[in-house]
Structure 1
Amino acid sequence: MKIENKLRVELKHGETTDQAMARTVTSPECLSASVLTICQNIDHSKITEMVDELRQQTAAIHSDDLSRAESMLISQAHTLDGLFAKLASQALTAGQLDVAERYMRLALKAQNQARATQQTLGEIKAPKQIAFVKQANIGNQVQVNNDDNPARSRAKKNQKAPNKLLEVKHGERLNTRAQGSASRDNQAMAPLG
């Protein structure tokens, strides 16, 4: 008896069979199920069940249930740590320097991946807090927003402040016609009148 290798495809309203097939086989769950059946040596006729399970796990993530993702990350971190230990021990027992160097490079890559995986797990468990501040210093440009009322800030910008170099008191101008004296360096030069 031969078991058919069929993937269950559900038609949505207004969708052709070809469109439904394209949507289904390109879904992340179907693509992952295809790889998993090959990697885990599972009969490919079970692909529909694999897709369904992956859809349930995806739905759990969408409803903020991260327990599966946390379990996966800690398992991967342990696997990578074990891989680091195995590769490091092979590097230490290698007879040739170039072989030992290759093993050590791989060991350190596995160690770094284990660290990154644990860091990701930590960020899932305790997300970084985002702070909204009124002052942002970016590179050489500085922007400071200290006023709570933006309309008042714009009104202040539009008012022209008197130039303190040109006016001593409001309305009193500097005497630009006053005659200066000649400098001590060149007494022959008289100031222009």
Structure 2
Amino acid sequence: METNQQVEPRHKEPGDPTVAQKATSPEFLSATVLTACHKLDHAQITELVTELKEQTAAVHTDDMSRPESMLIAQAHALDGLFAKLANRAFSVKSLDVMERYMRLALKAQNQTRTTLQTLAELKAPKQIAFVRQANIGNQVQVNNGTVPTRAREIRNGPNELLEVTYGERLDTRATCAPGGVDTTMEAVGAKHRPSER
């Protein structure tokens, strides 16, 4: 008994999809879900697949009227669901049940907002900018080029405010030399003192 038998590939006619291709197509999968949701006869699945393929082809030719209609209809349905759940939340006596209804209502409200945002992006897509270099961060500076001559001259030295000489801490209690503005500054004399302390 020989185990190394070669399997001949099955030739199919062009335009004749296999069962696997049919069963995994997006249109077929959506049609099975729609059939189950609406309790339709399974004989109508071919008709559903045909309709879904037409709608898919329209999107491929940049006709977005069907997706736009679908999104606005879904937004209205979600808004109605929000109103129903919010009204039901206010009609119950139990605070725990009211909180559950309000959580569901606010989820429906958020989904309405997301659906409308998707519709807005579909109508007016965001502009995409292709840049040579993107730096993402907080307070990032990128110098793509030569360093200016002035920048080469600047040298980072120690903080001169805290030290008189390098490595020796400044004694803040000691007297220091007068500044350059008023070198003759001295204590207030008797002439300028107030009469009462």
The TM-score bracket by the shorter chain reads: 0.5 to 0.7
* Ranges of 4+ aligned residues in structure 1 off by more than 6 Å: none
Identity of counterpart residues, as a percentage? 62
Alpha-carbon distance in 1 for matches of 2:133, 2:56: 39
Change (3 A) 1:137 1:41: same
- 1:45: which partner in 2? 43
- 1:62: which partner in 2? 60
Kindly name which structure, 1 or 2, has the bigger radius of gyration based on alpha carbons: 2
Aligned pair 1:118/2:116, yes or no? yes
Aligned pair 1:86/2:87, yes or no? no
Alpha-carbon distance in 2 for matches of 1:164, 1:85: 68
Change (3 A) 1:41 1:143: same
Alpha-carbon distance in 2 for matches of 1:71, 1:24: 27
Q: Please, what TM-score do these two structures have when normalized by structure 1? A: 0.64
**Unmatched 5+ stretches in structure 2:** 1-11, 155-197
Change (3 A) 1:99 1:164: closer
Matched residue SS, 2:135? strand
Q: CA RMSD in A?
A: 2.6
Q: How many residues align?
A: 138
- 1:107: which partner in 2? 105
**Unmatched 5+ stretches in structure 1:** 1-10, 146-152, 158-162, 166-193
**Is the deviation greater in 101-110 or in 127-136?**
127-136
The alpha-carbon deviation at position 94 of structure 1 amounts to 1.0
**Which is strand-richer, 1 or 2?**
1
The amino acid of 1:70's aligned partner reads: E
The amino acid of 1:45's aligned partner reads: A
Alpha-carbon distance in 1 for matches of 2:84, 2:143: 54
The amino acid of 1:137's aligned partner reads: N
Q: Please, what TM-score do these two structures have when normalized by structure 2? A: 0.63
- 1:29: which partner in 2? 27
Residue deviations 1:95-128, cap 9 Å, x none? 1000000000000000000000000000000111
